[in-house]
Copies of this chain bind each other. A is one copy, B any other.
Amino acid sequence: MSGHLAVIGLGPGDTRFLTGEAEAALAGAEILFGYGPYLDRVPHRAGQERIASDNREEIARAGAALERAAAGARVAIVSGGDPGVFAMAAAVCEAIEAGPDAWRAVELAIVPGITAMLALAARVGAPLGHDFCAISLSDNLKPWEIVERRLDAAASTGFVIALYNPISKARPWQLGAAFDRLRAVLPPSVPIIFGRAVGRADESVRIVPLFDADPAFADMATLVIIGSPETRIVERPGLAPLVYSPRSARSAS
């Protein structure tokens, strides 16, 4: 008697980023699990149970949701952004792999959402317009040396880089260390985009050259995009400048 588990991407902040598929999945769930602030974004429905948990309890949340689904319920886990990008989908897969056989029988639907880098890119132009990568700066789950190697490899071969989880109270120095590392590889003029709470009422965006990039411009709610040497800024009188990475690259620099 196996039920159903949907892992739903809410996109960043505002409900205007919700897809039709995500709305339908939210409406069809009997039980919603999620980090409290994400659950708060979902309108209440009569008869729908809600179970909020802390940000760091991803595996426990996945297990609790799978338990209810395996018992026959229609369960949903809500995730900010896209569930497959540094969010709940991988935690659910990990829990299924490590868990009882009954969890493998649960019908699983991952519902994609607009991840933060797409929303921030859209807000400023097209900084992800050519090859790009996404790196989580958190070293809770991987050694810092891996982050360093990936930053070096990506910057030195011309990728634009989106930095997720750039900074937190428990990880205060990593973003500064990343900027220092990038300054050794990239021109000082490369545009750095700090996007905080994109798509929410308190949204703020700041664009500075790498030379002036300061970790103090970021907090837990910030996504940082590091331009490539080809990334350009187009000034517009009376409007915000556009930042974009051209589709063409001229030579293997």
- Flag if B234 contacts A97 (CB, 8 Å): yes
Among B17, B130, B245, contact of A19 (Cβ-Cβ < 8 Å): B17
- Flag if A242 contacts B96 (CB, 8 Å): yes
A138 CB to closest chain B CB, in angstroms?
9
- Flag if A131 contacts B136 (CB, 8 Å): yes
- Flag if A118 contacts B20 (CB, 8 Å): no
Contact with B along A102-145 (1 / 0, CB 8 A): 00110110111111001101110111111111111000011101
Contacts of A114 in B (CB 8 A): 19, 82, 112-114
In Å, the complex CA distance between A132 and B86 comes to: 10
A157 at interface, CB cutoff 8 A: yes
- Flag if B133 contacts A131 (CB, 8 Å): yes
Q: Knowing A82-B118, A112-B118, A239-B104, say if A90 contacts B19 (CB, 8 Å).
A: no
- Flag if A108 contacts B242 (CB, 8 Å): yes
A67 CB to closest chain B CB, in angstroms?
17
Contact with B along A219-253 (1 / 0, CB 8 A): 00000000000001011111100101111111110
Quick one: which of A1-41 are within 8 Å of B by CB?
A: 9, 11, 15-21, 24
Contacts of A247 in B (CB 8 A): 86, 90-91, 94, 141
In Å, the complex CA distance between A121 and B145 comes to: 27
- Interface stretch of the complex, out of A69-77, A148-156, A166-174, A204-212: A148-156
A78 at interface, CB cutoff 8 A: no
